[in-house]
């Protein structure tokens, strides 16, 4: 079986070069061809010796995921559905803004964590994506956006906020992060790459050592009893432990704060009293808040908080000295907004049958 070189970061590519009897600098050349110029044909890598090109073609491939469909929203947001084998597909979303272009990528086919307001979580879990499939989303998007390795980058920021929980696919995600930061590959700074987690505490500590990029934590509730329901992994890693992990992360973080994401669910977590409780909860953690108006999907059972309620909630945080942004909903006409990503997932956890039963019971 030929190896897929998109699976390798610099360290692994250097080891591979050694195995086939090549010097370490070849690894940097290869990275540059594959990721900076988006080349997938060894024959076109003009500064590699012919004999090396032949050797590479015999032992390796450069295989990004295939695109199943592409859509463009009225606001310019673009979404690609990428095949990841066995009938599964995941979404990648590009959000153009005046000063930056952000690519939101997936890390798993589905998600096992069952947050109640998330359509990915409702679908079940199939498998972890490989490093090639994770970085392949960036590889593809660059190509689709017409970037040829010259001039200003179209993708200036990457957020790991698509399908899946990145910290539960740790090694493959870290391999992809290394490539995002590598000057021979995508050359992004650590502040421009944000990993979002639902709160996998040991993963946060491991990330702080392996590759401390900007951290976003999905908080969504001001106390354990509500968070246990909305984000069930809270039962394993309750708020006190999660906030302590955030405090530890600050020491190595590329920015001097952690971003807390908070989805605004009408009548569930959006009252003034809950905002006050939240202020008290995070008082020892240098943080910013990102309020996300809930994006609905069929049978979600939740409603989005009204703009008035969201601004009242925001004011409580702001008055306590916290910087708050309210996320603009982008791409909802192509189901590309946060939490609407459904990809195509063959659930392996047999969760659906249970869900149907639950739904029948509640009828």
Q: Which residues contact 130 (CB under 8 A, 6 or more apart)?
A: 4, 7, 172
Picked from ligand SF4, ligand SAH, none, the partner binding residue 294 (CB below 5 to 8 A depending on kind) is ligand SAH
List residues bridging with 93 in a β-sheet.
79, 104
* Pick 63 or 332: Cβ nearer ligand SAH: 332
C-alpha span between 333 and 326 (Å, rounded): 19
C-alpha span between 261 and 37 (Å, rounded): 34
* Pick 118 or 180: Cβ nearer ligand SF4: 118
Identify residues 137-176 at the interface with ligand SF4 (CB under 6 A): 164-165
Identify residues 186-225 at the interface with ligand SF4 (CB under 6 A): 198, 218
Smallest separation, CB 17 to ligand SAH (Å): 34
**Beta carbons within 10 angstroms of residue 176's beta carbon:** 33
C-alpha span between 87 and 75 (Å, rounded): 30
C-alpha span between 13 and 175 (Å, rounded): 11
123 counts as binding ligand SF4 under rule CB under 6 A? no
Smallest separation, CB 206 to ligand SF4 (Å): 17
* Pick 10 or 113: Cβ nearer ligand SF4: 113
Q: In degrees rounded to 5, what are phi and psi of residue 362?
A: -85, -5
* Pick 14 or 196: Cβ nearer ligand SAH: 196
CB under 6 A: which stretch of 30-38, 77-85, 110-118, 247-255 binds ligand SF4?
Answer: 110-118
Q: Which of 10, 30, 118, 179 binds ligand SF4 (CB under 6 A)?
A: 118
C-alpha span between 188 and 201 (Å, rounded): 25
Q: Among 288, 292, 293, 281, which residue's Cα sits nearest to residue 238? A: 281
Smallest separation, CB 231 to ligand SF4 (Å): 6
* Residues that bind ligand SF4 in the complex, under the rule CB under 6 A: 111, 113-115, 118, 120-121, 164-165, 198, 218
């Amino acid at each position: 079986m030929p190896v897929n070189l998109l699976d390798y970061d610099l360290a692994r590519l250097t080891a591979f070069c050694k195995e086939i009897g090549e010097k370490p600098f070849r690894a940097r050349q290869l990275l540059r061809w594959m990721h900076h110029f988006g080349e997938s044909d060894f024959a076109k890598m003009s500064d590699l010796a012919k004999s090396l090109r032949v050797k590479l073609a015999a032992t390796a491939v450069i295989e990004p995921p295939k695109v199943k469909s592409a859509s463009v929203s009225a606001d310019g947001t673009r979404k690609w559905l990428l095949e990841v084998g066995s009938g599964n597909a995941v979404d990648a979303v590009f959000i153009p803004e005046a000063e930056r272009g952000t690519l939101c990528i997936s890390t798993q086919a589905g998600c096992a964590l069952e947050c109640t307001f998330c359509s990915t979580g409702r679908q079940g879990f199939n498998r972890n994506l490989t490093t090639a499939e994770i970085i392949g989303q960036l590889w593809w998007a660059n190509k689709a956006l017409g970037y040829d390795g010259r001039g200003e980058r179209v993708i200036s920021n990457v957020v790991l906020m698509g399908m899946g929980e990145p910290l539960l696919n740790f090694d493959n995600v870290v391999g992809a992060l290394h490539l995002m930061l590598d000057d021979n590959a995508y050359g992004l700074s650590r502040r421009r790459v944000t990993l979002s987690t639902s709160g996998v505490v040991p993963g946060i500590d491991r990330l702080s050592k392996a590759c401390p990029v900007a951290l976003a934590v999905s908080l969504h509730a001001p106390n354990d009893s509500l968070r246990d329901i909305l984000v069930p992994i809270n039962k394993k890693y309750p708020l006190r432990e999660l906030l302590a992990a955030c405090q530890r992360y600050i020491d190595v973080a590329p920015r001097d704060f952690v971003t807390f994401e908070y989805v605004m669910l009408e009548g569930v977590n959006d009252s003034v009293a809950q905002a006050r409780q939240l202020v008290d909860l995070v008082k020892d953690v240098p943080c910013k808040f990102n309020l996300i108006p809930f994006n609905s999907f069929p049978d979600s059972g939740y409603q989005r908080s009204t703009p008035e309620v969201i601004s009242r909630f925001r004011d409580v945080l702001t008055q306590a000295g916290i910087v708050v942004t309210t996320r603009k909903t982008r791409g909802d006409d192509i189901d590309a907004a946060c939490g609407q990503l459904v990809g195509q997932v063959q659930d392996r956890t047999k969760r659906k049958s249970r869900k149907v039963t639950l739904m029948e019971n509640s009828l």
